Structure 1
Amino acid sequence: MDRKEFIKKFAYGGSILLTAPVILSACSSDDDDFVPNDPNEPDTDLTIDLSSSTYSDLGTIGGFVYEGNIMIFRTGESTYLAISKICTHQGCTVAYNHTSGDVLCPCHSSRFTTAGAVVSGPATASLKTYSVQKNGDILTIS
């Protein structure tokens, strides 16, 4: 075997060895739910000023906004929900689908309610929820 052929076979075999664990473990049925260690998760309360144009979508019932890795929904005249954007299956970022009213994970198609409950898997654990308090135009999320 000449040097060129050896290098080609070595590179081919090495690439298989490096990618096989990723391919074989992706979305396996025995995956435990992901428990996020979110570096963007606030250590203290998060405050939202509803009078700011940044949060104008929360001015109507059914409105929502993203703040860091948190989704905030206005559910009533003075009620709000806040949930994590980190999917509990494998840590992908979920997004709200206003048309269907679901929170969807683009990686493996898990679906959640706006309260964070699992509608369909592969995720089995609900999204993390946060407490929301309203005082005037200020929301405090903890």
Structure 2
Amino acid sequence: MKRADFIKKFAYGGSILLTAPLILSACSGDDDEFVPEPNIPNNLTIDLSSSTYEDLGSIGGYVYEGDILIFRTGDSAYLALSKICTHQSCTVAYDHSNGNILCPCHSSRFTTAGAVINGPATSSLKKYSVQKNGDILTIS
């Protein structure tokens, strides 16, 4: 083998060894390690008579308030979950027709209690307590 061929092959092989960890780590399963904690005040109040929340006027409607997804599942039943998918922090949405929460980025599905139905997400969405008093929802 000529010296020039040896140097080329050595350089080529060395570059593969140096870049392999970067390429392989791009496909690792650690994508759902960091998910920011939803940011809400201690008690969030929602006035259902406000036009801002008119989508909550019908069953199946939902709105976002900060990092919270608030949705209506029945005549006077409301639920609140983190809107941040635990896989890669995309914003989830309520799918009333299927009765679950869907992440549009990678198709993770969650129950209305926040539990994972199918991944790639492996952690549940944070669930919040919702109290209704007249036209006021209190989320804590």
TM range (shorter): 0.7 to 0.9
The question of whether the paired residues in 2 share the 8 Å contact of 1:33 and 1:124 is answered with no
Question: Which one-letter code corresponds to 2:74 in the other structure?
Answer: G
Match of 1:63 in 2: 61
Largest Rg, 1 or 2: 2
Q: Mark the runs of 5 or more structure 2 residues left unpaired by the alignment.
A: 1-14
* 1:88 to 1:61, Cα distance in 2 relative to 1, 3 A: same
After TM superposition, give the deviation of residue 33 of structure 1 in Å: 4.5
After TM superposition, give the deviation of residue 27 of structure 1 in Å: 5.4
Cα deviation per residue 1:36-78 (whole Å; 9 max; x = unaligned)?
233xx11321100000011111112222111121111112222
Matched, 1:49 2:47: yes
Match of 1:8 in 2: none
After TM superposition, give the deviation of residue 98 of structure 1 in Å: 4.4
Q: Mark the runs of 5 or more structure 1 residues left unpaired by the alignment.
A: 1-12
- Please give the residue correspondences for 1:105-116 in structure 2 after superposition, counting only pairs within 5 Å: 105-116=103-114
After TM superposition, give the deviation of residue 113 of structure 1 in Å: 2.2
Match of 2:25 in 1: 25
Tell me the C-alpha RMSD between the 2 structures: 2.6
Give the percent of matched residue pairs that are identical in Structure 1 and Structure 2.
Answer: 74
The question of whether the paired residues in 2 share the 8 Å contact of 1:74 and 1:81 is answered with yes
Match of 1:9 in 2: none
The question of whether the paired residues in 1 share the 8 Å contact of 2:40 and 2:67 is answered with no
* 1:108 to 1:28, Cα distance in 2 relative to 1, 3 A: farther
Normalization by structure 1: what TM-score?
A: 0.72
Aligned length: 123
